[in-house]
């Protein structure tokens, strides 16, 4: 029976696509007459996908080999590219995370967006995004992955710029789209280069072209053919995709600006699914990266720099959503760092725990903003625990989880710390522990400024409806306990961790130190900090370095390159004009020229004879 769900896993992605089409064409199908049609269709399709994913999860417990089903899409000569789905433990885990988190966010969105004029359009975009993300997770090869990778980017652009009449939202959507295109261009170049060097191997092996199940031998072949230097560049180009999608340095600045979208989108895209797609791709294409120690070290340090830099920036934020956005960048840095250090299972473990508690934190912030008439500045909050107890306590659970204080985040972070320790990456371990201190500090800063003390704002706080608070309560359960599930063992990449309790104890003490520091500084007063904004440095670099270089190149192109081309053209025009004066078509003119030429030759002959004598 379970084989049926595995063999037809594509239906999980097809359901939201069908709902997207129904809502889009809903004016002719009476869907727009009642908002309940839209939300029920959306939630039922995702709920079916969630149940389907559970059956697939149960199937993986007894499976010995991955299941792959493919059908050729492009078959021209040596080029054979296909689409289909691959079911293994990694796919099952991501399907469960995406469908479960999406379902709760959709229920929450009904309450949050109920009075918005674009309600149906919002849910149409939401279903398009779910189709794209689930298609990405189910993809069996790099070619198909790239198709859904781009669809995810388009969907996120539509959702970030949902309130497109706001200039800030339109700008944020454009920025996210452009910065992701930079990464996607590198990703595409990497896929093409990898395919070019491995084409002969795919032809001889009989495997599905660019299929994930055969990436390890294909990567070894490319390494032997291209050499370590070229292979490093190929793997680096592929890594550019995750750099942009998972908001890693230096392409991380789009994510905080993307908070201009509706808060449920912040929870869905920027906490649980889209930004996790980059980390998922690293895990899925892990054999490519594992073949090069240099690219693994590059991945680890990109993640470490991102985790540290964005944690420092998060400390300075006053906007509750931007604090969570920079926190997301930092936690994604943790995951990428773990992947680069060889602790792939630890990175995926933290991705799973983070999906639940960060989605809950974003939804809590949305409930706060909703209850304060769109106020997002924490300096004008405070004392909201009295007005929003459910939101306050679920937010507190999220803060404890992300800070690594015994709830789910503690267990997944401990796996990362242990992985760094086992791989003897001392410098990375020190950075990771320091980021843990900053994480506890800025998260509890946000909690104390928002929910404790006295209210400092001017709005009239009101509680959220049950349609918004019930998803928070449900999300609080996995946020607290999912860390006890041995996800690393389920993925089959268990490393031999040390037995000492010293490292977990150190991480607990560091997190507790961050909490007490935040409590000492922010329970009774608001201490302003200077905002850090990486865009300032990017704009300076563009104005003072990039633009002068491009202006110089433009001048060189205009006056030198174009000048040479124009000179050649003018020379040819002059020569053709001269010839046109001679080519009159009149016989008498040609005879006159002939006799003039002969006369000239005779004159030259006479002069030569005279000079010779």
The full DSSP string for 267-317 is HIIIIISHHHHHHHHHHHTHHHHHT-HHHHHHHHHHHHHHHHHHHHHHHT-
Count of residues for the chain? 613
How far apart are the C-alpha atoms of 498 and 418, rounded to whole Å?
7
Q: Please, which residues have CB within 8 angstroms of residue 351's CB and are 6 or more apart in sequence? A: 97, 276, 279, 280, 335
CB atoms within 10 A of CB 298: 17
- Concatenating the DSSP letter of every residue in 321-349 gives HHHHHHHHHHHHHHHHHHHHTT-HHHHHH
Q: What Cα–Cα distance (Å) separates residue 134 from each residue in 82, 137, 231, 300, 542?
A: 17, 5, 30, 27, 37
Segment 428-442 mean pLDDT: 94
Determine the pLDDT at residue 534: 59
Residue 544 has pLDDT above 80, yes or no: no
Distance from C-alpha of 145 to C-alpha of 242, rounded to nearest angstrom: 12
> What would the pLDDT profile of 337-348 be if each residue is shown by its tens digit?
999 998 899 999
Give mean pLDDT, residues 461-474.
Answer: 85
Q: Are 5 and 92 in contact (CB under 8 A)?
A: no
pLDDT in tens, 475-497: 999 999 998 888 888 887 655 55
C-alpha to C-alpha distance for 12 and 128, rounded to whole angstroms? 13
Give the mean model confidence (pLDDT) for residues 448-455: 87
Place of tokens 């696509």: 17
- Examine the pLDDT at 60 and tell me if it is beyond 80: yes
- The token duo for 419 is 């992985």
- For 528, the 3-state DSSP assignment is coil
CA contacts within 13 A on the Cβ side of 570: 6
- The distance from CA 309 to its chain's CA centroid, rounded to whole angstroms, is 18
Q: Are 421 and 346 in contact (CB under 8 A)?
A: no
A 10 A CB-CB count for 145 gives: 25
Average pLDDT, the chain: 85
Q: What is the pLDDT of residue 453?
A: 83
Please report which confidence band the pLDDT of residue 546 belongs to, taking 50, 70 and 90 as the band edges: low
Give the tens place of pLDDT for each residue, 75-129: 766 677 888 899 999 999 999 999 999 998 888 888 888 888 888 888 899 999 9
Which pLDDT band, with edges at 50, 70 and 90, does 3 fall under? Answer: confident
Q: How far apart are CA 115 and CA 111, in angstroms?
A: 8
Burial class (CB in 10 A: 0-12, 13-18, 19+), 219: buried
C-alpha to C-alpha distance for 413 and 211, rounded to whole angstroms: 31
Q: Who's near 255: CB < 8 A, 6+ residues apart? A: 176, 247, 270, 275, 325, 326, 328, 329
| Two structure tokens written together for 97 | 């995370």
Rounded to whole angstroms, what are the CA distances from 451 to 259, 381, 404?
A: 21, 7, 20
Q: If pLDDT is split at 50, 70 and 90, which confidence band does 27 have? A: low
Q: Domains of the chain: which residue ranges?
A: 292-529, 533-576, 583-613
**Confidence grade of residue 376 (pLDDT, cut at 50, 70, 90):** confident
Return the pLDDT at 224: 93
Task: Of 265-279, 316-330, 403-417, give the lowest mean pLDDT range.
Answer: 265-279
Query: Are the C-beta atoms of residues 87 and 67 closer than 8 Å to each other?
Result: yes
d(C-alpha 274, C-alpha 129), whole Å: 9
Dihedral sign, CA of 148, 150, 156, 157?
negative
pLDDT for 12 beyond 70: yes
Phi-psi region of 374 (alpha: psi -120 to 50; beta: other; left: phi over 0): left
pLDDT range class, residue 528, cuts 50, 70, 90: low
User: pLDDT at residue 529 above 60?
Assistant: no
Q: How far apart are CA 288 and CA 191, in angstroms?
A: 11
First-to-last C-alpha distance (Å) of the chain: 115
Q: Which residues contact 175 (CB under 8 A, 6 or more apart)?
A: 253, 254, 257
* Count of H-run helices and E-run strands, the chain: 26, 2
Whether residue 58 is predicted with pLDDT greater than 60 in this model: the reply is yes
- Predicted local distance difference test score (pLDDT) of residue 496: 54
**Are 250 and 179 in contact, with CB atoms under 8 Å apart?**
no
Mean pLDDT to the nearest integer, 15-43: 82
Q: Cα angle at 338 between 208 and 85, to 5 degrees?
A: 25
- Is the confidence at residue 567, as pLDDT, over 90? no
pLDDT for the residue 600: 77
- pLDDT band, very low/low/confident/very high, at 381 (cuts 50, 70, 90): confident
**Integer Cα distance of 513 and 436 in angstroms:** 10
pLDDT per residue over 302-313, tens digit each? Answer: 999 999 999 999
CB 45 within 8 A of CB 15: yes
Task: Please give the Cα distance from 535 to 538 (Å, whole number).
Answer: 5
């Amino acid at each position: 029976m379970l084989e049926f769900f595995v063999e037809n896993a594509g239906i999980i992605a097809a359901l939201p696509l069908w709902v997207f089409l129904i809502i889009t064409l809903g004016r002719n199908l009476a869907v727009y007459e009642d908002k309940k049609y839209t939300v029920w269709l959306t939630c039922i399709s995702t709920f079916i996908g969630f149940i389907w994913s559970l059956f697939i999860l149960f199937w993986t417990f007894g499976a010995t080999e991955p299941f792959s089903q493919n059908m050729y899409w492009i078959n021209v000569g040596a080029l054979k590219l296909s689409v289909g789905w691959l079911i293994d433990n990694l796919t099952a885990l991501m399907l469960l995370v995406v469908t479960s988190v999406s379902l709760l966010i959709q229920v929450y969105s009904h309450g949050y967006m109920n009075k918005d004029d674009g309600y149906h359009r919002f849910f149409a975009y939401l279903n398009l995004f779910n189709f794209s993300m689930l298609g990405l997770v189910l993809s069996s090869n790099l070619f198909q992955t790239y198709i859904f990778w781009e669809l995810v980017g388009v969907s996120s652009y539509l959702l970030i710029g949902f309130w497109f009449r706001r200039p800030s939202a339109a700008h944020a959507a454009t920025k996210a789209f452009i910065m992701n295109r930079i990464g996607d261009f590198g990703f595409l170049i990497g896929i093409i280069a990898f395919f070019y060097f491995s084409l002969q191997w795919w032809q001889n092996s009989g495997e599905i072209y660019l299929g994930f199940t055969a990436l390890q031998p294909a990567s070894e072949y490319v390494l032997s053919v291209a050499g370590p230097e070229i292979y490093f560049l190929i793997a680096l180009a592929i890594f550019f995709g995750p750099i942009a999608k998972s908001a890693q340095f230096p392409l991380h600045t789009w994510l905080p600006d993307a908070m201009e979208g509706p808060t449920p989108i912040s929870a869905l895209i920027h906490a649980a699914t889209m930004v996790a797609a980059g980390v998922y791709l690293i895990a899925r294409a892990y054999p490519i990266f594992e073949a090069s120690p240099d690219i693994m070290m590059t991945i680890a340090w990109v993640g470490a720099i991102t985790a540290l830099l964005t944690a420092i920036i998060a400390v300075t934020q006053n906007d509750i959503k931007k604090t969570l956005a920079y926190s997301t960048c930092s936690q994604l840095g943790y995951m990428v760092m773990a992947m680069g250090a060889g602790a792939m299972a630890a990175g995926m473990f933290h991705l799973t725990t983070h999906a639940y508690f960060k989605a809950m934190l974003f939804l809590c912030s949305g409930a706060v903003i909703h209850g304060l008439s769109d106020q997002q500045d924490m300096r004008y909050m405070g004392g909201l625990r009295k007005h929003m107890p459910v939101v306050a306590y679920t937010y507190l659970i999220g803060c404890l989880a992300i800070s690594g204080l015994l709830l789910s985040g503690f267990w997944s972070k401990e796996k990362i710390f242990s992985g760094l320790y086992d791989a003897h990456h001392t410098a990375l371990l020190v950075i990771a522990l320091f980021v843990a201190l900053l994480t506890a500090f800025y998260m509890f800063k946000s909690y104390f400024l928002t929910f404790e003390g006295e209210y400092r704002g001017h709005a009239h706080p009101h509680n959220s409806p049950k349609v918004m608070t019930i998803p928070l309560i449900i999300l609080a359960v996995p946020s607290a306990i999912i860390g006890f599930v041995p996800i690393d063992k389920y993925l089959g990449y268990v490393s031999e961790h040390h037995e000492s309790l010293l490292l977990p104890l150190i991480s607990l003490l560091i997190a507790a130190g961050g909490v007490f520091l935040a409590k000492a500084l922010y329970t009774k007063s608001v201490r302003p900090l200077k905002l850090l904004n990486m865009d300032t440095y990017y704009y300076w670099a563009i104005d003072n370095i990039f633009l002068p270089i491009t202006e110089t190149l433009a001048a060189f192109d205009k006056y030198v390159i174009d000048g040479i081309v124009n000179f050649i053209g003018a020379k040819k025009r002059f020569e053709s004009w001269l010839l046109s004066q001679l080519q009159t078509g009149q016989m008498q003119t040609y005879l006159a020229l002939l006799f003039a030429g002969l006369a000239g030759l005779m004159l030259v002959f006479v002069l030569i004879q005279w000079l010779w004598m």
